[in-house]
């Protein structure tokens, strides 16, 4: 796509087995975009669906939508690479001066796009949505989300706005910075926070999921949380250094106590249970510290392989030579 035909706005929509959600999403979003850009230059907007290895007819539904409106485009990845990789693919191919990642489930209201564009035109390069009400999420998910945001912001210097997801507007300058980041272990919220720029928030209440069911399970969320913390901070490694120093100091004090007690009162053979408890306790600490170290070493291995973040199997609506990295 040539710079002269670049749209003002690109929507990036990662999808995985969302066949039933494609139609309702387009029906709700397209009239809204038409109203926002009425009378503007053409093309004024595009919707890029990133099919992250769907096993149903998601891609076929997008192809049908593209046949009705060429501004609806799609990238089909060769397998499921995960949402962070799908977002990266969308950013690589998006041509808009402003780019908004948004979920297809319509929990993040498309009606907020107008407010985001207004902030962008006021000079903000990043406009993120903040969820004021998460009652549509389960209680365990709300509690763990609160805990994660606080832990991440305590451990990392790149502060993530609490209750802000991937739903945000990014200026083209921010998109180019994100695209230039080479890491393979990608935590997009952390990358957005690291990039800086002038940022503003718009608040909204999150709606219940309109169609289908979430593809995120607690194990995936746990893995994403680990990726977020390890990609943004080395504090977990430093914490275990401090734990080792404290344990060594306490052990030295205890050794002095045993030595003085033996000199004064003599030695005895009691203490086998406490000895076993100490061995098991410190053995557990060592395994935990090795696990933390292993998380970082594993990520170093992934980075050194330098494999592509994703593989595009098919492009719908894009010039053969356009977009991507």
Tell me which residue has tokens 């709606």.
207
* Nearest alpha-carbon partner for 37 in 50, 24, 46: 46
Output the DSSP codes for 212-268.
S-----HHHHHHHHHHHHHHH--HHHHHHHHHHHHHHHHHHHHHHHHHHHHHHH---
Q: Tell me the average pLDDT across 41-53.
A: 81
% of the chain beyond a pLDDT of 90:
1
Q: Tell me which of 219 and 123 has the higher pLDDT.
A: 123
Lowest mean pLDDT among 2-6, 120-124, 171-175, 317-321: 2-6
Please state, in angstroms and rounded to a whole number, the distance separating the CA atoms of residues 249 and 252. 5
Q: Is the pLDDT of residue 322 over 50?
A: no
- Mapping DSSP to helix (H, G, I), strand (E, B) and coil, where does residue 273 land? helix
Lowest mean pLDDT among 4-13, 42-51, 142-151: 142-151
Q: Tell me which of 176 and 324 has the higher pLDDT.
A: 176
Please state, in angstroms and rounded to a whole number, the distance separating the CA atoms of residues 126 and 123. 9
Chain centre distance of CA 216: 12
Q: Which two tokens stand for residue 128?
A: 């993120």
Q: Is the pLDDT of residue 236 over 80?
A: no
pLDDT of 119-141, one tens digit each? 888 888 888 888 776 655 555 66
pLDDT at residue number 49:
92
Q: Which residues contact 234 (CB under 8 A, 6 or more apart)?
A: 296
Q: Is the pLDDT of residue 289 over 70?
A: yes
Q: Tell me the average pLDDT across 186-200.
A: 79
């Amino acid at each position: 796509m040539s710079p002269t035909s670049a749209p003002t706005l690109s929507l990036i929509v990662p999808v995985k087995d969302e066949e039933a959600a494609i139609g309702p999403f387009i029906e709700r979003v397209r009239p809204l975009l038409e109203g926002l850009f009425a009378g503007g230059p053409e093309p004024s907007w595009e919707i890029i669906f990133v099919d992250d290895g769907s096993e149903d007819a998601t891609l076929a539904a997008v192809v049908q939508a593209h046949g009705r409106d060429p501004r609806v485009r799609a990238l089909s990845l060769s397998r499921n690479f995960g949402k962070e990789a799908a977002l990266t693919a969308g950013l690589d191919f998006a041509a808009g001066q402003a780019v908004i990642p948004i979920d297809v489930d319509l929990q993040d209201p498309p009606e907020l796009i107008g407010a985001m564009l207004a902030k962008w035109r006021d000079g903000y390069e990043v406009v993120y949505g903040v969820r004021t009400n998460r009652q549509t999420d389960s209680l365990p998910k709300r509690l763990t989300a609160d805990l994660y945001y606080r832990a991440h912001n305590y451990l990392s210097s790149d502060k993530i706005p609490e209750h802000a997801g991937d739903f945000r507007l990014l200026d083209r300058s921010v998109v180019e910075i994100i695209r230039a980041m080479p890491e393979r272990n990608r935590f997009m919220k952390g990358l957005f926070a690291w990039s800086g720029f002038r940022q503003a928030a718009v608040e909204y209440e999150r709606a219940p999921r309109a169609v289908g069911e979430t593809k995120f399970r607690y194990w995936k969320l746990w893995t994403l949380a680990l990726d977020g913390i390890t990609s943004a901070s080395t504090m977990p490694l430093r914490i275990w250094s401090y734990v080792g120093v404290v344990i060594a100091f306490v052990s030295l004090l205890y050794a002095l106590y045993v030595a003085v007690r033996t000199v004064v009162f003599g030695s005895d053979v009691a203490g086998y249970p406490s000895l076993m408890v100490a061995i098991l306790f410190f053995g557990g600490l060592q395994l935990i510290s090795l696990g933390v170290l292993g998380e970082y070493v594993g990520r170093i291995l992934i980075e050194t392989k330098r494999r592509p973040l994703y593989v595009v199997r098919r492009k719908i609506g894009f010039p053969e030579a356009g977009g991507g990295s």
